[in-house]
Amino acid sequence: MSEPLLELAHARKYYASPGGQVRAVDDVSLSVAEGELVAILGPSGSGKTTLLLLAAGLLAPDEGSVRFQGAELAALSKREALAYRRTKLGFVFQSFNLVVGLTAAENVAMPLLLRGTDHSVARLQALEALDGVGLAARAEHIPSRLSGGEQQRTAIARALVGEPKLILADEPTGNLDSETGTEVLEVLSVLPRARGAATILVTHDTRIARAADRVLQMRDGRLTEPEPASEREGEGKGEPASACESDPTQSAGGR
């Protein structure tokens, strides 16, 4: 077995709050392999975002370790941590986080420009990435001229354009209707894998279960296997696109 891409070992992150200590992430161990799609389900406040922040090196664990390709993130200098995020990670957020005054192509080019890629090269790669998410025709539109699903696909193109090793997606379908959410889950369960990137996908949408390599459940800061009565009837591994097709008995969940 090769070295895991990302490895959390007994990671803890506690917050002080007026009501007492909050165990946002409580003794979490998680190993993510290259190219793997790990879905994390769990109620609001269970620690999912905190877990992603630990993986991004944006928070240091109070205890335990978070390693990427064997390197302890907390030991990186600020500059190294920034380089880690810029070159190895791609982020997808619930609220898309596109820059409002920039076109889709300019938004997607941004991570490359931040790394110092030449403008014309960045633009070509951005157009390719937009084509990859089916948005070639929307490249010159600003976000307000795009639908929610198109904005999120633009954000996915932005996350993928720099060929990251790991995509961190935090409730990417939370602001989308069920059908659009399905499209976004399909894109997220196919494209990163096709490009060799692993994905940690935090979602309320249980439909991801059939496309993911693994589904975990977060509850009160603890990461566990989901309860046996979960929706995973089939093991849809390896057929993410069809596995993600909407299930009429299942609403989008979350909102």
Give the interface with Mg ion as residue ranges (CB under 5 A): 48-49
Smaller CB separation from Mg ion, 162 or 181: 181
| Residue of minimal Cβ distance to Mg ion | 49
Question: Which of Mg ion, ligand ADP, none binds 42 (CB below 5-8 Å, type-dependent)?
Answer: ligand ADP
Smaller CB separation from ligand ADP, 49 or 107: 49
Query: Tokens at residue 84, please?
Result: 């880690």
Beta carbons within 10 angstroms of residue 2's beta carbon: 6
User: Is residue 47 at the binding interface for ligand ADP, with CB under 6 A as the rule?
Assistant: yes
Sign of the dihedral defined by the CA atoms of residues 110, 190, 180, 44, in that order? negative
Beta carbons within 10 angstroms of residue 121's beta carbon: 12
Q: Is 132:160 a contact under the CB 8 Å cutoff?
A: yes
Pick one of 4, 42, 90, 111: the residue that binds ligand ADP (CB under 6 A).
Answer: 42
Minimum Å gap between C-beta 13 and Mg ion is 13
Q: What is the C-alpha separation between 17 and 32, in angstroms, rounded?
A: 31
How many whole angstroms from its chain centre is CA 125? 21
Q: Is 67:6 a contact under the CB 8 Å cutoff?
A: yes
User: Is residue 151 at the binding interface for ligand ADP, with CB under 6 A as the rule?
Assistant: no
Pick one of 5, 6, 24, 122: the residue that binds ligand ADP (CB under 6 A).
Answer: 24
Pick one of 5, 8, 28, 46: the residue that binds ligand ADP (CB under 6 A).
Answer: 46
User: Is residue 48 at the binding interface for ligand ADP, with CB under 6 A as the rule?
Assistant: yes
Which residues are within 8 A (CB) of 17 and not within 5 positions of it... i.e. 6 or more apart? none
Strand order in the sheet with 37-41: 89-93, 166-170, 198-202, 37-41, 214-219, 222-224
The 10 Å CB-count burial string (b at 16+, else e) for 13-41 is: bbeeeeeeebbbbbebebebbebbbbbbb
Minimum Å gap between C-beta 228 and ligand ADP is 22
Minimum Å gap between C-beta 15 and ligand ADP is 3
Pick one of 3, 10, 15, 119: the residue that binds ligand ADP (CB under 6 A).
Answer: 15
User: Is residue 60 at the binding interface for ligand ADP, with CB under 6 A as the rule?
Assistant: no
User: Is residue 44 at the binding interface for ligand ADP, with CB under 6 A as the rule?
Assistant: yes
Minimum Å gap between C-beta 180 and Mg ion is 20
Smaller CB separation from Mg ion, 48 or 165: 48
Smaller CB separation from ligand ADP, 110 or 209: 209
Query: What is the three-class DSSP state of 110?
Result: helix
User: Is residue 94 at the binding interface for ligand ADP, with CB under 6 A as the rule?
Assistant: no
Q: Is 26:12 a contact under the CB 8 Å cutoff?
A: yes
* Contact positions vs ligand ADP (CB under 6 A): 15, 17, 22, 24, 42, 44-50
